[in-house]
Amino acid sequence: MSLSVSRALALATCFAASSLAASVVEWQERSIYQVLTDRFALEGGGTARCVTDDRKYCGGTYRGIIDKLDYIQNLGFDAIWISPIVANVGGFTTYGEAYHGYWAQDIYKLNSHFGSADDLVALSNALHARDMYLMVDVVVNHFGPANSSASFESFNPFNKPSYFHPRCLITNYNNQTDVEQCWLGDDKVALADVNTENLWIVTTLNRWIASLVKDYRIDGIRIDTVKHVRKDFWPLFAAASGIYTVGEVFHSNTAYVADYTYVLDGVLDYPTWYQLFPAFQTSTGNLSALAEVILKAQRSYKTGLFGSGVFSENHDQPRFASLTTDTARIKNVIAFPFIHDGIPILYYGQEQGYTGGNDPANREALWLSGYVEEKEFVDHVKTLNAARKAAIATCAEYLVTPMEFPEVTATTLAVYKHPLLALFTNVGSHGTTSWDVQGTDYAPGTELLEVFSCSKVYVDSTGGLTALSTSGQPQLYIPASAPFEHCKNR
Ligand code: ABC
Ligand code: CA
């Protein structure tokens, strides 16, 4: 079955949310802090134990997040992405409880572990009062694990096996039909794959997303498992939401991922991520591969990388600091999304130096950090957000200027995105390196501020800049005339 996109869009308008809803352009100037609702903050500031290996609910709530909005805003973020909000299957599976929120049972109820509907509305209101946006994670590809007819009966509204694809586990990720119509998971926990070819199901899901957005005044949705649903499902769903949509397409290949940028506002840019860690993990990492994948995405995604989300960590991948302890390399990786064309997303805990490995170890409770702000990476993140904001304020075209790579060598990478120039290196804390950047649009003699060290330099007579590093740290330059206040406060 295939609905034409135009018919889909026409149908969708009747469910569309209010015109005040946030669009892709409004999201582009923001930066997003991703939290796992269960792991970010306890209401009233508790510090209960949370053992990630147990895979159990640890007690984080919407009220907990509200209490910690100062922390997020102080880091410089003006949007948050929270876990899926709907009621999940209860009980304990081989892979624990549904504390992450991705195992829906009833899409018309909320996950009571995270709070009530009033609490979620209060979070949405509290964010909006600070001019911050709310992004909610949503899943349509599957419901929770289903092992028996009782499991199906407990689902709402898809309460019969016939609302799902016949059970078969995805084993061959190169077979797109399997990827779309078989089930995610394994023999122990298999996720019931919704029959998204059924028109009643399509209509139900579109009505559902329209009301969810309206009820909780959601500004954007992060859509889970996008590559597991036929592409022509998405335009209708996105239009029904009426807001910014960014899809998770977990794949390394830009050509594969590009197709999905034609059906949603953007993707979570896994191709960049795939090159990012290996590029910076050791001094033999391939920085040119990182530049190349970005150039490919700029050419092949519908609107280049603008409107997509870019991240260095998320809840499905081992944290970068679990792969190296070198703080200079970590700072390079943290900085990269902030000078990228995409919307920067920081996964909670990276700023606190968390080191968790594979799921579930990468889902640590943030309350155990004490939310300390006087910390090296916290300061790094604050500076990055402030520099990006200053760049946007200085130069209206910043958000539509594609990043360029005026220098790529074995160990250095220069990223130019006027008015910012970022210098990266993978030599590490004990390495020495230099950059010799030519071909910028800076006028000769322009005074530039290096935002991490607060030192100043002048652009040379040909518009170039040379820089030296003896500590492997990234460097980030902005014209000294830009409204960047951080150095004044130091
Ligand atoms: C649970 C356990 C895990 C256990 C797993 C089998 O079951 O916690 O320890 O390993 C949620 C929970 C998870 C839970 C899953 C499954 O549900 O958060 O803790 O895992 O029950 C999204 C979300 C994710 C969420 C789900 C499910 C989807 O972000 O948090 O997980 O709602 C696939 C999906 C992707 C999904 C991801 C977890 O699984 O496509 O949407 N993420 C290949 C495939 C990918 C696949 C990936 C991992 O494996 O291409 O599609 O992602 O299975 C490269 C190759 C890649 C390859 C990678 C691993 O290696 O080029 O193709 O990716 O070299
Ligand atoms: Ca599917």
Residues 269, 257: Cα–Cα separation, whole Å: 8
Q: Is the pLDDT of residue 42 over 50?
A: yes
| Strand intervals (E) in 348-489 | 404-408, 412-417, 420-425, 433-437, 447-450, 455-458, 465-469, 475-479
The 10s digit of each residue's pLDDT in 432-482 is 999 999 989 999 999 999 999 999 999 999 999 999 999 999 999 999 999
Q: Is residue 101 part of a domain?
A: yes
Of these residues, 106, 137, 248, 326, which one is catalytic? 248
Say yes or no: 23 and 131 in one domain. yes
Q: Phi/psi of residue 24, each to 5°?
A: -60, -40
Domain-terminating residue out of 394, 416, 447: 394
What is the reported pTM? Answer: 0.95
* Nearest alpha-carbon partner for 437 in 470, 460, 403: 460
Q: What is the pLDDT of residue 13?
A: 36
Choose the residue to mutate in 102, 248, 363 for probing ligand 1, maximizing ligand atoms within 8 Å of C-beta: 102
Say yes or no: 438 and 466 in one domain. yes
Ligand 1: residue whose CA is nearest its atom 58:
251
Phi-psi region of 472 (alpha: psi -120 to 50; beta: other; left: phi over 0): left
Q: Is the pLDDT of residue 220 over 80?
A: yes
The reply to whether 248 belongs to the active site is yes
CATH number at residue 423: 2.60.40.1180
Structural domain count of the chain: 2
The 10s digit of each residue's pLDDT in 44-94 is 988 899 999 999 999 999 999 999 999 999 999 999 999 999 999 999 999
- 413: β partners: 408, 424
* Nearest alpha-carbon partner for 89 in 72, 101, 74, 75: 101
Q: Is residue 251 part of a domain?
A: yes
Confidence of residue 9 (pLDDT cuts 50, 70, 90): very low
Of these residues, 106, 119, 137, 224, which one is catalytic? 224
The reply to whether 313 belongs to the active site is no
Residues, CB-to-ion distance under 5 Å, ligand 2: 141, 180, 193, 228
Say yes or no: 435 and 384 in one domain. no
- The one-letter amino acid code at 113 reads H
Q: What is the pLDDT of residue 21?
A: 65
The DSSP secondary structure of 191-252, one letter per residue, reads EEEB-TT-HHHHHHHHHHHHHHHHHHT--EEEESSGGGS-GGGHHHHHHHH-SEEEEE---S
- Average pLDDT value for residue range 243-252: 98
Say yes or no: 52 and 136 in one domain. yes
The 10s digit of each residue's pLDDT in 320-349 is 999 999 999 999 999 999 999 999 999 999
CATH number at residue 310: 3.20.20.80
Say yes or no: 21 and 96 in one domain. yes
Radius of gyration of the chain (CA): 23
Ligand 1: residue whose CA is nearest its atom 47:
250
**What is the Å distance from ligand 1's center to 316 Cα?**
7
Q: What is the pLDDT of residue 264?
A: 98
Give the Cβ contact number of residue 100 at 10 Å: 23
The domain in which residue 374 lies consists of 5-394
